Structure 1
Amino acid sequence: MLIIALARRSLPLHLAAVWAWSPFVQLEAVNNAHVDLLGGALILTAGLLLTAGKPLRSGVAFGAAVATKLIPVIAAPALLFKRPVRFIAAALTTFVLLYVPYLAVAGAGVLGFLPGYLKEEGYSQRGGTRFGLAQLVSAGPWPQVLSAAALAAVALWVLRRTRPGNAWEQQTVMIGLTLLIVSPNYPWYALMLLPFIVLSRRWEYVAIILALDAIYMLPIKDPFTVPVHQAVLVLAASAVAAGVWRRRRRELQLAVLAGLESSTPDGGGCVSPG
């Protein structure tokens, strides 16, 4: 699918090797066999179908992604740029149908360990490294509040800006910034992110994957570990910000150059470097 998507954008096909030969993928998808691999593949399927003008089929693929593991739901804002009602209806229908057998057997037990997971992983308590960036500027219950506000702002930004021509870039922003803001303890969640880094060529987002790896490799054993985790998140955020700045600077330079070229009279020759 990466090769197909790269070919559609006239990008070098060998970029797919960033995924295929990645040590991160070999460790988390092959050696550790995390199901996030399937979730990421289905999100990519949904994106390919949507950019091809097939919102119903795209919704089915996305509903299957969320049914595989609930985390892929964070990709939704970048998939609502074409006939969102059809997309949402297909996704919800698929999700419900896939869960019916489990609901029939387990009843309320279909939720499994999800409530306990949120508490165990520190998403509903103070301290720890969840919402690590927000903890640098606030305390008490405010990190959760600030992080929720930041996530809502990112989702709205992506929802308003996503078009068929920039869908992969916006998906990188949506998934990448969500992982950065929430700062989960499990790097394999980023298996959803890497395919879109390849397609968008926003290589600075690899810093988020490395940050999650560092957090996982340095589990909390004493109070001194938390500042280390936060420092890693700050470095990742700085890398993303630097990438944005570099891209904006290049776009501005190209715009200025285009303006100079358009202002040159016909037959006037080249614009002087001075």
Structure 2
Amino acid sequence: GGSPWRPSARRAAAAGALLGVAVAVKLYPALLLPAAARRHRLVVLTSAVGVVVLSYLPHVAVVGTDVLGFLPQYLSVEGYQDGGRFLLLGLIGLTGTSAKAVAGVVLAAVMIAIWRSGPDRVGVERGALWLFGTAFLVATPVQPWYGLLLVVLAVLAGRLEWLAVAAAPYILYMALFTDLAVTDNIARPGGYLLGAAVVGVVGAGRS
């Protein structure tokens, strides 16, 4: 009795399930789905969504909409709801609703480009790196530990210049929680601006 699942489909289902586990723990790994689901799209997406839904159903049954926990407050405290967190966009005068709109358009454009690209032309690791790296530069988080996934993707994709972006939050983080003698104009976007410059220069040299 043979299984209707080919080995490649089984691997796709397993990959989707693992991504679903990651998303259930922390939302931002969902950014990897457009890169990971270009082959066996339905299998990967169904597996990932199924794991997330099944893992949250017991919580929803008990607490309802409170399952969101601190997330709405987090988005407000971190400045995403009012558009103040997008530091690089702020450098070009975009704040508030306009910053949120441009951030969404940029991220959606990269997602669509990766989704439409063939995995043979743009590998999963590189596609995931571009997606997560773009999100990192757009969202400019203050917490350095969010960069750990970016470090892994940079190494897997062989694009070590992105390590400069992963290190970008440290300047902002240290300025906020220590008495560094730097101005706000330098401390807030400075690390991200430098990281973006490194990626741009190295990428231009490679091409």
1:219 partner SS: helix
Structure 1: runs of 5 or more not aligned = 1-50, 249-274
User: Is the CA contact (8 Å cut-off) linking 2:31 and 2:128 kept in structure 1?
Assistant: no
Which residue of 93, 103, 106 maps to 1:138? 93
**Distance in 2 separating the partners of 1:136 and 1:71:** 25
| Aligned residue number for residue 193 of structure 2 | 234
Q: Percent identity?
A: 30
Determine if contact 1:66/1:72 at 8 Å carries over to the other structure.
Answer: yes
Name the amino acid aligned to 2:88. Answer: L
SS at match of 1:240: helix
- Checking the alignment, whether the CA contact within 8 Å between 2:143 and 2:173 is kept in structure 1 is yes
CA-to-partner distance for each residue in 1:23-68, whole Å, 9 max, x for gaps? xxxxxxxxxxxxxxxxxxxxxxxxxxxx955221211111111001
Matched, 1:185 2:142: yes
Task: Quote the residue 1:161 is aligned against.
Answer: 117
- In the other structure, the counterpart of 2:202 is 243
Kindly indicate whether the alpha-carbon contact (under 8 Å) linking 1:162 and 1:170 is maintained by their aligned counterparts in 2.
Answer: no
Q: Which amino acid letter does the alignment assign opposite residue 163 of structure 1?
A: P
Q: Cα distance, 1:231 vs. partner?
A: 2.6
Q: 2:161 touches 2:202 (CA, 8 Å); kept in 1?
A: yes
Q: CA deviation at 1:169?
A: 1.4
| Alignment match, 2:183 | 224
How many residues are treated as equivalent by the alignment?
196
Residue 103 (structure 1) aligns with: 60
Q: Is 2:17–2:48's contact at 8 Å kept on the other side of the alignment?
A: yes
Pairwise CA RMSD: 2.2
Residue 229 of structure 1 and its aligned partner are, at CA, apart by 2.0
| Distance across 2 between alignment mates of 1:225 and 1:72 | 30
Q: Rg: which structure is higher?
A: 1
Q: Structure 1 length normalisation: TM-score?
A: 0.66
Amino acid at match of 1:144: K
SS in 2 for 1:193: helix
Structure 1 stretches of 4+ moved >6 Å: 220-223
8 Å contact from structure 1 (residues 202, 243) kept in 2: no
TM-score by length of 2: 0.86
Counterpart of 1:64 in structure 2: which amino acid? V
| The one of 29, 41, 45 aligned to 1:88 | 45
